[in-house]
Structure 1
Amino acid sequence: MSASRTRAIVRALAVAGAVAVVGGALAQGFPADAATAARTAPPKVLSIAEIQRSQAKQLFSGGLAVQKDSKAASIVSDLTRQRRTADAKAIGRIASQPVAIWLGDWYSKAQLATVVGRAVANAAKAGKTPTFVTYAIPDRDCGGYSKGGLTASQYLSWNRAVADALRGHRAAVLVEPDSLAMISNCPSVAKARLPLIKSAVTTLAGAGIATYLDAGNSHWVTPQVIAPRLEAAGIASARGFFTNVSNFYPLKDETAFADRVSALTDGSHYVVDVSRNGQGWKGTWCNPKGAGLGKNPAVASGTTRLDATLWVKTPGASDGTCNGGPAAGTWWQSYALALVRLRAK
């Protein structure tokens, strides 16, 4: 086959989303020389316009990636060794699902390269798309249970490290949960925070990554309040926004809210966290009793602005030292088991 014919095949596959930019897996049935060319060619970096006009199934090529080395997976291994078969099976229902990978200020730039590199390599091997969450904004959580974050200068450099590690790979990044909605709780952070997030979005988008910005949830801020913040934070360079992260509201509440936000932000797409909303709102956002796992994560059909329902919050990770929980982000075994027991039917 001629070189020009090979390049034509590769270009056609790339447009259709069938070329895996990491790992080089091609659909069966195409000539071996085309497959070789696709593996050795530089990975395609999508432009902002391409990201925004793509169908959800193109952006989340192959479906959502499962993190094989997740905390839940390690717990399953421990329980199996202890012959706690029933508990291992229960936690396995969390470990078997794609859960977003959180990247926070607990990772140095060098560690980011390792963590992200391993995740995208594993996802590519499976022919799936990984989802990440950045969580290192200065004054994070306004001094609450998840307080922390980097300085402004550190944050910009840290985000460049995330972008460099993801460049050329198919991935989605949810940028800083609570960061925009929480301006209502601590308005003093707005002046510094909005341009920082906009810079992060611009940096990630420049690396060809689909990004989503924080829109809180359906019972926190109104569409009229959050839309201008999304605009100021750079949604024009993003794929869209996310809702319900680490919260418990039903999907119908969130999509109704998100559709209104979308209409105010030039038709932006969105994703919704359904990790723990199986039993709906239980009176508090912080380790509520009676919560259950939501429906399994899935990429949307593409007929609406909803791109995917995701498990963003790690089911089993504590919200903070409330209602008997350990520190925020710490694995809480009894709570994880309760989430599985009360999962959505």
Structure 2
Amino acid sequence: MRTPRAAQHPIRRRLTRTRLLLAAGTAGLLACSAVATAQGLEQRPTQDVTRDVGTADLPADTVFYDHPGAIHEWVADNPNDARTALIEERIASQPQATWFSNYSPDTVTAEATAITDAAAAAGQVPVLVSYMIPNRDCGGASAGGAPDFPSYLSWTEDFAAGLGTGPAVVILEPDSIALTTCLDQNEFAERFASLREAADIIHAANPEARVYFDAGHSSWHSPGAIADLLTQAGVLESGDGIYSNASNYNWTDDEVGFAEAVLGELGDAELGAVIDTSRNGNGPAPMGEWCDPADRLVGDAPTVNTGSDRVDAFVWIKRPGELDGCDGPAGQFSPDKAYELAGG
């Protein structure tokens, strides 16, 4: 997945609750409406919002599930490679998100079920990335997605049907909110409406699923600007929180501060955040380079013990060793890159 350069801009029960938009919240929506109007969208009136999403934090004893992927296959197939031991110790041993990025409507339910069933059997929580929004990555290295929005929502129904009934973390469409520069007025409106509906579909299929919306990262949009976009995308009505630093390299402390600031702008004390710490052990690359930069390291291990009341978890959204699209096709596993990230 591509995240633009910083210089150019990386067990709960569902509770129904009514959210009253008081002075701060109303001001936020008015600012949001101004942004929408500037982009040619119809301004919507401010109104009370009823949410039907879960509100409890992930339990303190949460263990994230690691579904086998390309790195595990490589380790199994290369026991005598000099790089294997370090890659296995530092990366393959850690729970990582599973990406749903190939448009396969006929098999996505079974693919999701295989992960959520295995996680439930282990008493663990899977992290799944829905990465199927039309015009994904604005046609960049990770271009693709569903052919149109009706197909996207139909695919989301199939994806959600495989989420089971246990707790799950869903990372909803990386870069879908932070990266919209390629969209015209109608595409912008349709994308944001579809994000809201996708979250609702997921919650309806599995009330235990927590859905996090894209907030970019601390070197991209300001907290106020991304909060306006998140509001337009429906995070206040349909989301459980936000995520930042997906596939990027910014320091964890910077992302915690950024996430807390965005949540403050949103004005909803029940929203949380997750932060991608998979590749930020050395912090950001020089000049904000995002595409397979050299000399990076894996970061903090996945955990719910974040030290912040607003940050629900550190998770490995990007699977270390899978390329960004410069050293090879986006998503392809590179043992050389994995070894470098492992500290080799």
* TM-score bracket for the superposition, by shorter chain length: 0.7 to 0.9
Q: Is the 8 A contact 1:159 1:200 kept in 2?
A: yes
Query: In the alignment, is residue 121 of structure 1 matched against residue 117 of structure 2?
Result: yes
Q: Is the 8 A contact 1:274 1:294 kept in 2?
A: yes
Match of 1:161 among 150, 158, 179: 158
Shift of 1:88: 1.8
Shift of 1:126: 1.4
Per-residue CA deviation, residues 206-249 of structure 1 (Å, 9 max, x unaligned), is 22121000000000011111112111212122110000000000
Give the secondary-structure state (helix, strand or coil) at the position aligned to 1:156. helix
Q: Is the 8 A contact 1:47 1:206 kept in 2?
A: no
**2: CA distance, partners of 1:300 / 1:142:** 35
Q: Which residue pairs with 1:210 in the alignment?
A: 210
Give the secondary-structure state (helix, strand or coil) at the position aligned to 2:157. helix
Shift of 1:95: 1.4
Match of 1:281 among 280, 284, 291: 284
Alignment of 1:167-182 (within 5 A): 167-182=164-179
The residue type paired with residue 101 of structure 1 is T
* Greater relative contact order (Cα < 8 A, sep 6+): 2
Q: Which residue pairs with 2:131 in the alignment?
A: 135
Per-residue CA deviation, residues 73-129 of structure 1 (Å, 9 max, x unaligned), is 11110111xx22x3221221311111001012x142231122111111211121101
Q: Is the 8 A contact 2:113 2:164 kept in 1?
A: no
Q: Is the 8 A contact 2:116 2:164 kept in 1?
A: no
Which range is displaced more, 173-182 or 222-231? Answer: 222-231
Q: Is the 8 A contact 2:227 2:265 kept in 1?
A: yes
Q: Which residue pairs with 2:220 in the alignment?
A: 220
Query: In the alignment, is residue 261 of structure 1 matched against residue 259 of structure 2?
Result: no
Provide the TM-score with structure 2 as the length reference.
0.80
Between structure 1 and structure 2, the one with the greater Rg is 1
Q: Which residue pairs with 1:76 in the alignment?
A: 75
Q: Which residue pairs with 2:334 in the alignment?
A: 332
Q: Is the 8 A contact 2:64 2:95 kept in 1?
A: yes
Give the secondary-structure state (helix, strand or coil) at the position aligned to 2:59. helix
Which range is displaced more, 106-115 or 251-260? Answer: 106-115
Give the secondary-structure state (helix, strand or coil) at the position aligned to 1:180. coil
**1: CA distance, partners of 2:190 / 2:229:** 13
Shift of 1:185: 5.9
Distance 1:120 1:293, change over 3 A: same
Shift of 1:169: 2.5
Give the secondary-structure state (helix, strand or coil) at the position aligned to 1:166. coil
Per-residue CA deviation, residues 19-73 of structure 1 (Å, 9 max, x unaligned), is xxxxxxxxxxxxxxxxxxxxxxxxx973465854312217xx6411121x21111
The residue type paired with residue 199 of structure 1 is E
Give the secondary-structure state (helix, strand or coil) at the position aligned to 2:143. coil
Shift of 1:131: 0.5
Kindly tell me the number of residue pairs found equivalent between the two proteins.
290
Q: Which residue pairs with 2:242 in the alignment?
A: 241
Give the secondary-structure state (helix, strand or coil) at the position aligned to 1:76. helix
Q: Is the 8 A contact 1:270 1:308 kept in 2?
A: yes
Q: Which residue pairs with 1:296 in the alignment?
A: 301
Query: In the alignment, is residue 54 of structure 1 matched against residue 53 of structure 2?
Result: no
Structure 2: where are the runs of 5+ without partners?
A: 1-10, 18-51
Give the secondary-structure state (helix, strand or coil) at the position aligned to 2:228. helix
Q: Is the 8 A contact 2:99 2:129 kept in 1?
A: yes
Moved over 6 A (4+): none
**1: CA distance, partners of 2:262 / 2:188:** 19
Distance 1:48 1:95, change over 3 A: farther
Give the secondary-structure state (helix, strand or coil) at the position aligned to 1:182. coil
Q: Which residue pairs with 1:250 in the alignment?
A: 251
Which range is displaced more, 299-308 or 330-339? Answer: 299-308
Q: Which residue pairs with 2:34 in the alignment?
A: none
Per-residue CA deviation, residues 260-305 of structure 1 (Å, 9 max, x unaligned), is 1001221321000000000001130110111111111111368511
**2: CA distance, partners of 1:241 / 1:78:** 37
Shift of 1:184: 4.4
Shift of 1:171: 0.7
**1: CA distance, partners of 2:13 / 2:254:** 35
The residue type paired with residue 258 of structure 1 is A
Shift of 1:186: 4.6
**2: CA distance, partners of 1:293 / 1:178:** 21
Provide the TM-score with structure 1 as the length reference.
0.79
Determine what percentage of the aligned residue pairs are the same residue.
34
Q: Is the 8 A contact 2:242 2:274 kept in 1?
A: yes
Distance 1:138 1:297, change over 3 A: same
Q: Which residue pairs with 1:35 in the alignment?
A: none
Give the secondary-structure state (helix, strand or coil) at the position aligned to 2:106. helix
Q: Is the 8 A contact 2:109 2:160 kept in 1?
A: no
Q: Which residue pairs with 1:100 in the alignment?
A: 97
Q: Is the 8 A contact 1:45 1:168 kept in 2?
A: no
